[in-house]
Structure 1
Amino acid sequence: MIIDISRLLNAHTPTWPGDEPFSYQLTWPMSETGSVNVGQFTTSCHTATHVDAPYHFRDNSLTIEQLPLDIFVGNAMVIDVSTKAKITLDDVENVDLSDVRRVIFKTNAWTDDEFPTTMPLISPDLGSFFLENGIELMGVDLPSVDPLDSKTLDTHHSLLQNGVHILEGLNLIDVEPGIYKLTALPLNIEGADGSPVRAILEK
């Protein structure tokens, strides 16, 4: 069974305030070409479901096409933290992570078509814990792993320092906790600070 955990991209897709919204338009309709429809789209690299490259928040760091693809394919543990105002070590210390390299937090804090105004806090302390337990990717159903008004991006930096990559903007409404196979491959965009992905889980 395949579960699509990507957010739909259209004219109503919520975008980080002030960032480039998603737009698709038909450049050449079949009525003009006589053979094909050809469209184009514009968007921020961080709209809807996306991967952050380290370059997004640290100059002279890895860009999206430089990231190893195996990070984004493989077993992932979905952990339900939907009752939590803050996600901390207490939420993962007793979870068996021996068979996974990826952790996905289901917060249910972004379940509609509006950009959220509040989100659960994610403790930067998770970075070192994940390193100790072999976790290389953290995913969230939030637009960011840091507070919306953060300028220091403590959790972003902690995850990077501990070798943990970031997948944001997931749609986990219909996903139960447990182990799945995740596929969430970023586009091969040279020099980019992030990339939209089509993320799926397989049970």
Structure 2
Amino acid sequence: MKGKSKIVNNYIDISQPLDANIGHWTGDTPFSYELSFSKEQTGSVNIGRISSSLHTGTHVDAPFHFEKNGENIHQLDINVFIGPARLIDVSKFKQIDREVLSRFDLDGVERVLLKTAIPNKPERFPEEIPFLTEEGADLLKEKGIFLVGVDVPSVDPINSKEMSAHKALYRNGIHILENIMVDDIEQGDYELIALPLPIVGADGSPVRAVIRSLNKRQGGKTW
């Protein structure tokens, strides 16, 4: 079943729901939740625990994920992950480079969310995805963008070992949000909230990502 974004009080939840069926990187720790102690056992409360890779579901990459001396997730400025963002539809392209990004109005944009052709199916981990190029990362920097969000598990090809896009974004001071769900969301301007947890020393964090439209007339402008 195709994942759908949920709307609550004008905010649209663009996070992948975490359960035992969610897709994950091959060889990585799958997500699981279980009760450690039941209310019957404790006499008062249920107590659960989770086990998961930090890169399962909707998440933020810390630079330490791909750079030995990069910042850990708890060292990142949380203001990066709160504020205006522009969603653009790049679903016609398998490679998101300078030429592709130049087709969109990104002047004055600080955060950009990329809608690709990959369906939002959290239970299915894609075998191939569109990817961002180093030149594309350079253009985002030139525009003043400091966060990019994608609706796929990575900004690089699935089988990449070089992590060229990750590293190019890092060099350009651009943070990375992955696995958002925007299939049924129109292009436009939104308020984004996608806060990572302050996990000390960690290479990433799951987030609850939500957006709220800032467009007075949704769909009324071509981006």
- Note whether the superposition's TM-score is higher than 0.5: yes
Q: Secondary structure at the match of 1:75?
A: strand
Deviation string 1:84-104 (CA, Å, 9 cap, x unpaired) is: 121122232243323421011
What is the CA–CA distance in structure 1 between the aligned matches of 2:98 and 2:138, rounded to whole Å? 10
Q: Secondary structure at the match of 1:125?
A: helix
Residue among 82, 96, 114 paired with 1:73: 82
Aligned pairs, how many? 203
Listed as ranges, the matches of 1:81-120 within 5 Å are 81-112=90-121, 113-120=123-130
Q: Secondary structure at the match of 2:134?
A: coil
Residue among 189, 196, 199 paired with 2:199: 189
User: Structure 2: which 5+ residue stretches go unaligned?
Assistant: 1-9, 214-223
Listed as ranges, the matches of 1:1-203 within 5 Å are 1-112=10-121, 113-203=123-213
User: Structure 1: which 5+ residue stretches go unaligned?
Assistant: none
Amino acid at match of 1:22: F
What is the CA–CA distance in structure 2 between the aligned matches of 1:131 and 1:118, rounded to whole Å? 26
Amino acid at match of 1:12: N
RMSD, aligned α-carbons = 1.1
What is the CA–CA distance in structure 2 between the aligned matches of 1:168 and 1:37, rounded to whole Å? 31
What is the CA–CA distance in structure 1 between the aligned matches of 2:190 and 2:167, rounded to whole Å? 27
Amino acid at match of 1:114: R
TM norm structure 1: 0.97
Q: How far is the alpha carbon of 1:60 from its aligned partner?
A: 1.2
Q: Secondary structure at the match of 1:131?
A: helix
Q: How far is the alpha carbon of 1:123 from its aligned partner?
A: 1.5
Q: Percent identical across equivalent pairs?
A: 46
What is the CA–CA distance in structure 2 between the aligned matches of 1:98 and 1:38, rounded to whole Å? 48
What is the CA–CA distance in structure 2 between the aligned matches of 1:14 and 1:184, rounded to whole Å? 20
Runs of 4+ in 1 over 3 A off after TM superposition: none
Q: Secondary structure at the match of 2:88?
A: strand
